[in-house]
Amino acid sequence: MYRIKSKNDYEQSYTNALEAPEKFWADIAENFHWHKKWDQVKSGNFTDLDFKWFTNAKLNITENCLDRHLEKRGDKRALTFEANDPNTPTTHYTYKELHQAVCKTANMLKDLGVKKGDRVCLYMGMVPELLFSVLACARIGAIHSVVFGGFSAQSLADRINDCECNLLITNDGSYRGAKSIDLKGIADEALETCPTIKNVLVHKRIESNITMKEGRDVWWHDLYDKASSDCPAEVMDSEDPLFILYTSGSTGKPKGLMHTTAGYMVWAAYTFQNVFQTDEQDIYWCTADIGWITGHSYITYGPLLNGATTLMFEGVPTWPDAGRFWQIVDKLKITHFYTAPTAIRALMACDEKLVEAASLSTLKVLGTVGEPINEEAWHWYDQKVGKKNCPIVDTWWQTETGGIMISTLAGIGECIPTYATKPLPGVKPELVDEKGSVIEGNDVSGNLCIAGSWPGQARTVYGDHERFKQVYFSTYPGKYFTGDGCYRDKNGNYRITGRVDDVINVSGHRIGTAEVEDAIDTLESVVETAVVGYPHDIKGQGIYAYVICHSTPSNLEEFSKQVKDQVTKVIGPIAKPDKIQVVTGLPKTRSGKIMRRILRKVAEGRPDQLGDTSTLLDPSVVDDIVKNAQ
Ligand code: PRX
* Domain presence at residue 362: no
CA distances from 464 to 329, 438, 461 (A): 43, 29, 5
Q: Is 396 close to ligand 1, i.e. is its CB under 6 Å away?
A: yes
Contact 501, 494 (CB under 8 A): no
599 and 451 fall within a common domain: no
CATH code, 617? 3.30.300.30
292 and 407 fall within a common domain: yes
Which parts of 496-593 fold into alpha helices (H)? Answer: 513-521, 556-570
How many residues are there in the chain?
Answer: 630
Please report, in angstroms and rounded to a whole number, the separation of the first and last CA atoms in the chain.
56
b or e along 599-610 (b: 16 or more beta carbons within 10 Å of the residue's beta carbon)? Answer: bbbbbeeeeeeb
Q: Is 401 close to ligand 1, i.e. is its CB under 6 Å away?
A: no
541 and 433 fall within a common domain: no
* Domain presence at residue 40: yes
Q: Domain end: 444, 466, 488, which one?
A: 444
For residue 615, the model assigns a pLDDT of: 85
Q: Is 496 close to ligand 1, i.e. is its CB under 6 Å away?
A: yes
For residue 252, the model assigns a pLDDT of: 81
545 and 487 fall within a common domain: no
- The alpha carbon of 508 and the centre of ligand 1 are apart by a number of angstroms equal to 7
Rounded Cα distance, 158 and 254, in Å: 9
* Domain presence at residue 372: no
Out of 255, 484, 503, give the residue to mutate to test ligand 1, the one with the largest number of ligand atoms within 8 Å of its CB: 484
- The alpha carbon of 601 and the centre of ligand 1 are apart by a number of angstroms equal to 23
For residue 590, the model assigns a pLDDT of: 87
Q: Is 247 close to ligand 1, i.e. is its CB under 6 Å away?
A: yes
For residue 617, the model assigns a pLDDT of: 87
For residue 251, the model assigns a pLDDT of: 82
Q: Which atom number of ligand 1 is nearest to the Cα of residue 509?
A: 10
- Helix 128-140 to helix 95-111 angle (10° resolution) is 60
427 and 464 fall within a common domain: no
29 and 134 fall within a common domain: yes
Q: How far is CA 264 from the centre of its chain?
A: 15
For residue 305, the model assigns a pLDDT of: 98
Antiparallel, parallel or unpaired: β 509-512 and 283-286: unpaired
Rounded Cα distance, 417 and 421, in Å: 9
Domain count, the chain: 3
Q: Is 482 close to ligand 1, i.e. is its CB under 6 Å away?
A: yes
Residues of the chain with pLDDT under 50: none
* Domain presence at residue 374: no
Q: How far is CA 516 from the centre of its chain?
A: 19
Tell me which residue range forms the domain holding 67: 7-316+391-444
User: Could you give the 3-state DSSP secondary structure of residue 54?
Assistant: strand
494 and 435 fall within a common domain: no
567 and 578 fall within a common domain: yes
Q: Is 398 close to ligand 1, i.e. is its CB under 6 Å away?
A: yes
* Domain presence at residue 287: yes
- The alpha carbon of 397 and the centre of ligand 1 are apart by a number of angstroms equal to 5
Helix (H) / strand (E) containing 269: helix 261-276
Q: Domain end: 456, 482, 499, which one?
A: 499
- The alpha carbon of 616 and the centre of ligand 1 are apart by a number of angstroms equal to 33
